[in-house]
Amino acid sequence: MTGEYRPDRSRFIAPSLDDIEALASEAFVQLPQSFRDLCGDIIIRVADFPTDEVLKEMNAETPFDLLGLFHGVGMTSDGATPQSGQMPNMIWLYRRPILDYWAEHEETLGDIVSHVLIHEIGHHFGLSDEDMERIEAEAGA
């Protein structure tokens, strides 16, 4: 068919683990300095999917049910004082579920990554949904 639009498919590449990690790093830097300072040495990691163990622990029906997860000891659980042998607090972002969500919604990928990151950090602090919404607003997410 002449005149039919044919996009250059070579340009369409799904964002990689590194791309999502870069978006998360950028989102973290945009958070208020006082909030970042409170996060301490929290580690942000990106994986394609949660592990089977995590899916079972969280009672997830499919691997696409979790966009992110805080793993560690929250500040509300005396997580401010690390114990000997305690693993560092980590936030996991799950690339494939995030991309699936992105494909179905009108938000930018950066906004989604920022939202998930702030939500998971919020678990570290025991914040309410309202607190997390305020932090997102301050970060411009």
Q: Which residues of 67-104 are buried (b: 16+ CB within 10 A; e: fewer)?
A: bbbbbbbbbeeebeeeeeeeeebebbbbbbbbbebbee
- For the chain, count helices (H), then strands (E): 6, 3
Query: 28: Cβ–Cβ under 8 A, 6 or more apart, which residues?
Result: 36, 39, 44, 117
Would you give per-residue pLDDT tens digits along the chain (141 residues)?
A: 556 777 777 777 899 999 999 999 999 999 888 878 888 888 999 999 999 999 999 999 999 999 999 988 766 555 455 555 567 889 999 999 999 999 999 999 999 999 999 889 887 787 777 887 887 777 766
Decide if 121 contacts 38 (C-beta within 8 A): no
Domains of the chain: 14-72+88-139 (3.30.2010.20)
